[in-house]
Structure 1
């Protein structure tokens, strides 16, 4: 069977692209003319007072009144409360709230979160045991307290009769206006019915072979599409019952509108020199415009069933990517088969949490659809992350051999990934900026720009890219992807590097709204509070970590805070926090976590300057990872070399330095050289240390945040050197 040479094109504009990460739409939308609007219009705001639980809410005065007191709240907080009351007990998505209360202006989700928190404080509510406002995970917020209307206060009754008459006139005029608006709305809805993009009309394919015996195949492909789309759960499917199917787009769109479908699928069968060609297309019903021409499947007549199945797989894949992938699908050379797309989604969701399982799904995606370029890009990175560098390089090399078959957009991505193993971060950032020019609102591109800029010691550039994601609307599905934790962390650590500790705190807290038990985000909050000198807030975070399962002991948080205190010139506080960490480790003593707890113990002992014990622990850990070249073994060797140098154990220090030099290579990304620089610094070879730091950066090392906290203790002999400060100084 031959796959047609037609490329996937979009005529109706920028819709749906598969790039290396999937994005799930945050909420279902309806087509309404040329714009996308919420599925249902929100309720109008009530203007009079109403009772909410124990409070009387007075919108005109921005007041909450109880039997004991009157509390004033901000106007936006009152707008939000009134909007929620208007729609109670419905759950309101964050997008719906932002669209209505902030009138579509672009704000960060942190702004909404802070406003919700202000309302809870004013109402005396508790998020963990809500009596007024309940958070519905992954959906939004709703009011749970009883709501009753109340009569206007007696003060309102004391207005002059003339004023009352004016009010009555305004009310009457408003009623007339509302009647006219309602009539106009009904007329417009009748004339231009909103269409649902997640309803798809599937037409019988048109038989243009000239042979009536193919009518059955034209009907069969429709039935198979209806079955496959229904089984996918992607859309609601409407089979078209058309006596004389027509493959003209206007006719198809007209038939689809009567069923409220926003999308339509049709196709055509041709016969050329004894071979059957099956084509399919996806149509935007509202615009009566072709979205995608799906590559034709050409086969011998006796194998027509296989051709129909191939077209069905590709068509369902196109629908899936159109609805749930990035917004520029026409920039890729190939629409994936649906089963391959499903494997790609599964592999992408596991990418940040289970590399082995992610590789399995991505390999399956490529096996099912060998032309699925984004799956190959993703697989190459997964191989590299899993220590299978040669296999990752081979995937990219094969793509590069056939780069003439790729679109210009795909070639930009290919060049970006090819630059990865060579640690050419500056080249990668240039390529990402070129990709950004093509897809300026793509959150994945901004996520990758954030990481690359941070690795180049460009914290302001990293913050800008992170803010484009964190502050974006309509990306709830993407923001809940675990890879976005890194975006929050990079943004927070970039603020830390710049000394903006209040923004660091706000960013980390915003991340915790989505990932409330993520240990790294909790550490980031603790680090910021330590830098700000907020001891009370810090102790609250420690207590929180002690009561929830974050996957790590609270000792880690205490150690990171101790490193921050030491870096900020508070040695007594650092000593106290490190000793508390050791106490936690003594009390915990889990034999199943011997390596992790040993590593934390070694770091705490370094911070308390108990170097003899620290070296003994590190040597034990080294015996547990002997012969390894993984990150844990490099980390243990590096710290062991530094501790030995500090103690004057030159034999061990030089032995570790030689071991690190022998394990260096492109896949190590400069880490061995980084640790060798620290050893040199404590051996008194400060100029050599500076040279090694420059070398490590050239080799791909880019964790500059460590210089400002966790690894600062390793390089204390270099502080005050102009060359060292120049290396640390942020670019841009």
Structure 2
């Protein structure tokens, strides 16, 4: 990126827009910054971020504000702003631990701390401002005329699309196209006046997310991110902006004895328009059919073209037994607490009751399998190998009962991974995504398996997709993002990702291990050695041999690359 001498003395292409940052001359039109004999070329988006910050020196600017200003509310990956900041720091030779140019404020945003001078673009002269306003007024008159004509065409086109053909959504992680049919199902409010009924309202929400997520033409936000907004004041437009979706489904559930009422509304967030709303009344036995109707009505409202077999499965009832379904919902409430061994055991007991009430309840067996994997993964099982075998058996039974059951394949993949059978795990993860393209956790699982299989670029794309589907993701998403960047030798981006994870999980040994390696490979040996001391503080018995088993690279070059980083950091035991 840095160039010595060549071109450093050139006259900026537009002196009126040139400004200075801490002794550096910044020329936005050419995309260059220079200081004496040094010069660097910035990517356009990195330069736009710098300009935006320079217009607000000393002010904290949030990630969301930068995304809106620089990317103009396009759907971009979570690390788009981070990558721009990394490139700016590299160009300015700014140390993020002791910043002189750009400071990161945890969970708040970024601030330009260096002095800024000669920034005419932000403080226009009267003559320039009047000239620009006159041009803008002329341009806007034509825009309004064009918009009026285009609106007539657009309404007709949208009407045709709505009733005749699908709006295909790209599989990638960025671009406006991905937002066309993106939806968040927010937690349905419990209007029963009884908090013990929360599990039921949450269950309705979960089932709707599950049903919609199976459609490849929709981008459906993951449960983890949707439930961040439970019991929060609802500003549909703000929530949609944070989750990067176009549509929001929300509603309420009221249960009195065996009578149930479900209200649901589908809203286009930007306009606030209600595309569809409906009320369903019935007895408990009819709840599953209500959910099925809601799912299919939403799909129809979004004009998704669904084939016969797929359409039947999208919102197919999990079970026809109200008793089994109630046990299942209670079990899922305990399971998603992710708290401890005792809560996991309670979840397993309810899933077992659900399977007893309906021996053909495939999802109950799949979730039952997941509780066994959780026991093994978290050290809660006295016999982890037996727990993993139980999980595999239960997942297989679930798949026998219902082939198109994503969670069953996901759990089987987890179990195989924990047993060190990585090829089998990869196959199961791919099947989970085949049946549910919006399964964020399955994308994460597949990403990790791709890393270790010597396919890091594919793994990076999967983890970026998972982050798009689950914007309010747990810390392990950023950790796996950092792993991908490290293996691809993109160390600055890896460091930022690991640091984000450490903010949420400061005592995680593996995070400090990888951050130490990334610092070392980037040449920041002092920071690497500091992270190494954190590793040894957390685990005085740290061993490279154990670490190699924990991160099983198939490619010897990838393994050596990781171990080389640890050795450089001083973790050579």
Give the shorter-chain TM-score range: 0.5 to 0.7
| TM-score, normalising length: structure 1 | 0.43
Q: Tell me the matched-pair count.
A: 426
Choose the corresponding residue for 2:476, options 479, 482, 486. 482
Moved more, 261-270 or 276-285: 261-270
Is this contact kept in 1: 2:331–2:347, CA < 8 A?
yes
Asked if structure 1 preserves the Cα contact closer than 8 Å seen for 2:447 and 2:463, the reply is: no
Structure 1: stretches of 5+ with no match in the other structure: 1-46, 158-163, 205-218, 239-260, 300-306, 316-327, 351-356, 496-501, 557-592, 604-630, 636-670, 672-699, 713-732
Structure 2 CA distance for aligned equivalents of residues 525 and 182 of structure 1 = 52
Query: Who is 2:376 aligned against?
Result: 384
**Aligned-pair CA distance for 1:417:** 6.1
Which whole-Å CA distance do the structure 2 matches of 1:267 and 1:543 have between them?
55
Cα distance, 1:93 vs structure 2: 1.7
Q: CA deviation at 1:116?
A: 1.6
Structure 2 match to 1:344: 335
Q: Note if 1:91 corresponds to 2:75.
A: no
Query: Relative contact order, CA 8 A, sep 6+: which one is greater?
Result: 1
- TM-score of the aligned structures, taking structure 2 as reference length: 0.53
1:430 aligns to 2:427 (yes or no): yes
- State whether residues 133 and 142 of structure 1, in contact with CA within 8 Å, keep that contact through their aligned partners in structure 2: yes
Q: After superposition, where does 1:280-291 map in structure 2 within 5 Å?
A: 280-286=262-268, 288-289=275-276
Q: In structure 1, what is the equivalent of residue 534 of structure 2?
A: 550
- 2:525 counterpart residue number: 539
Which of the pair has more CA radius of gyration? 1
Q: CA deviation at 1:403?
A: 5.7
What's the CA shift for 1:459? 0.9
Q: 1:201 to 1:176 in 2, by over 3 A?
A: farther
Q: 1:224 to 1:232 in 2, by over 3 A?
A: farther
1:545 CA drift (Å): 2.7
Determine if contact 1:202/1:266 at 8 Å carries over to the other structure: yes
Cα deviation, residue 528, structure 1: 7.6
Following TM superposition, by how much is the alpha carbon of 1:423 offset from its aligned partner in structure 2, in angstroms?
6.3
- 1:332 deviates by 8.6
| Equivalent position SS for 1:459 | coil
Instruction: Please list, as runs of the form range in 1=range in 2, the aligned pairs for 1:184-223 lying within 5 A after superposition.
Output: none
Gap change, CA 1:332 and 1:339, over 3 Å in 2: same
Distance 2:92 2:411 in 1: 54
Shift of 1:464: 1.2
Determine the C-alpha separation between the residues in 1 that align with 2:530 and 2:500.
16
Q: Which residue of 2 aligns with 1:365?
A: 347
1:503 aligns with 2:489: yes
Assess if the C-alpha contact under 8 Å between 2:33 and 2:40 holds in 1. Answer: yes
Where 2:318 maps in the other structure, the secondary structure is coil
Q: How does 1:455-494 map to 2 (within 5 A)?
A: 458-460=453-455, 462-470=456-464, 474=468, 477=471, 480-482=474-476, 485-486=479-480, 488-489=482-483, 492=486
Query: Does structure 1 conserve the Cα–Cα contact (< 8 Å) formed by 2:100 and 2:114?
Result: yes
How far apart in 1 are the matches of 2:460 and 2:482? 7
1:297 aligns with 2:297: no
- With over 3 angstroms needed to count, the CA separation of the structure-2 counterparts of 1:396 and 1:264, relative to structure 1, is same
Q: In structure 2, how many angstroms separate the alpha carbons of the residues matched to 1:342 and 1:112?
A: 35
| Alignment match, 2:206 | none
Which of 278, 281, 292 matches 2:260?
Answer: 278
What RMSD, in angstroms, separates the aligned Cα atoms of the two structures?
6.2
Structure 2: runs of 5 or more not aligned? 1-15, 156-182, 203-226, 235-246, 269-273, 295-312, 320-324, 355-362, 564-573
Return 70-79 or 399-408, whichever deviates more: 399-408
User: Closer, same or farther in 2 for the Cα pair 1:378/1:145, shift >3 Å?
Assistant: farther
Cα deviation, 1:362-393, whole Å, max 9, x if unaligned, reads 22334466557464343121233334333454
Q: Residues 178, 146 of structure 1: CA spacing in aligned structure 2 closer, same or farther, 3 A cutoff?
A: farther
Change (3 A) 1:523 1:61: same
The match for 2:85 among 116, 136, 155 is: 116
